Amino acid sequence: MYYFFSYGYGWLTPLRSAVKVGIGGLGSAFSRRSLDAFIKTSPIAEKLAGGKIVRYEAHRIPMQGPSPTIATKRVLFAGDAGGFVFPGTGEGIYYAIKSGKAAAQAVAKAMQGDPLTEAYEREAHKAGLLSLREVNFLEDTLASPHEAERYVRRLKKLARGFQ
Ligand SMILES: Cc1cc2nc3c(=O)[nH]c(=O)nc-3n(C[C@H](O)[C@H](O)[C@H](O)COP(=O)(O)OP(=O)(O)OC[C@H]3O[C@@H](n4cnc5c(N)ncnc54)[C@H](O)[C@@H]3O)c2cc1C
């Protein structure tokens, strides 16, 4: 189940004998206190009241797009490790798979003699992954209708790269 929450969103997932509760959003305003507040104001707050909290967990999503360094001499960074996340939405599963494939292709090329770092940069570029660096969703895209239109065109281009 998903519920909107100030400056982000929250969810409640029933498990067999527990409920998994989460919130997601931007900025340092999100904290354990925000999660507690969400639990207290959620639609099933009464049912959750007095329940035992088994565990707190927090995960960061790199929202700035691909890192300036996605490869070193012997290491390739794919998925979250390389910053392959869509900056506007935090969507990272698709880009993790895509960058993982690009990394595998780069390794195959390196085994045929290509320098590894350059091969990965090339494969990531070919897959449209590096254009994620150009997306600055909050500051640029939402600033004007013209920018929003440009953003949609960029998405179309990106989608073609994934076909
Ligand atoms: C709450 C939340 C909701 C999200 N919702 C969405 C969504 O709806 N759609 C979407 O596209 N993306 C979503 N994301 C983002 C998405 O989950 C990530 O971008 C994506 O999973 C990144 O994949 P990855 O393979 O890089 O890393 P991960 O999926 O984090 O995989 C890394 C794996 O490496 C393991 N690991 C770590 N250290 C070691 C070690 N030393 N040795 C061995 N293994 C290790 C970890 O246990 C983990 O299994 C969400 C993220 C969060 C936190």
pTM of the model: 0.80
Residues of the chain with pLDDT under 70: 1-7, 136-142, 158, 161-163
Ligand 1 atom index nearest CA of 93: 11
Cross-strand bridge partners of residue 20:
13
For 49, phi then psi, to 5°, come to -55, 130
CB 61 within 8 A of CB 44: no
Per-residue pLDDT tens over the stretch 27-37: 777 788 888 88
User: What is the structure's pLDDT at 137?
Assistant: 67
| Probe target for ligand 1 pocket from 80, 97, 132, with the most ligand atoms within 8 Å of CB | 80
CA 65 / ligand 1 centre spacing (Å): 15
User: What is the structure's pLDDT at 71?
Assistant: 96
Closest CA to 141 of 151, 154, 153, 129: 151
> b/e for 76-110, b at 16 or more Cβ within 10 A?
bbbbbebbbbbbbeeebeebbebbeebbebbeebb
Residue 62, ligand 1, Cβ within 6 A: no
For 26, phi then psi, to 5°, come to -100, 145
Q: How far apart are CA 59 and CA 90, in angstroms?
A: 12
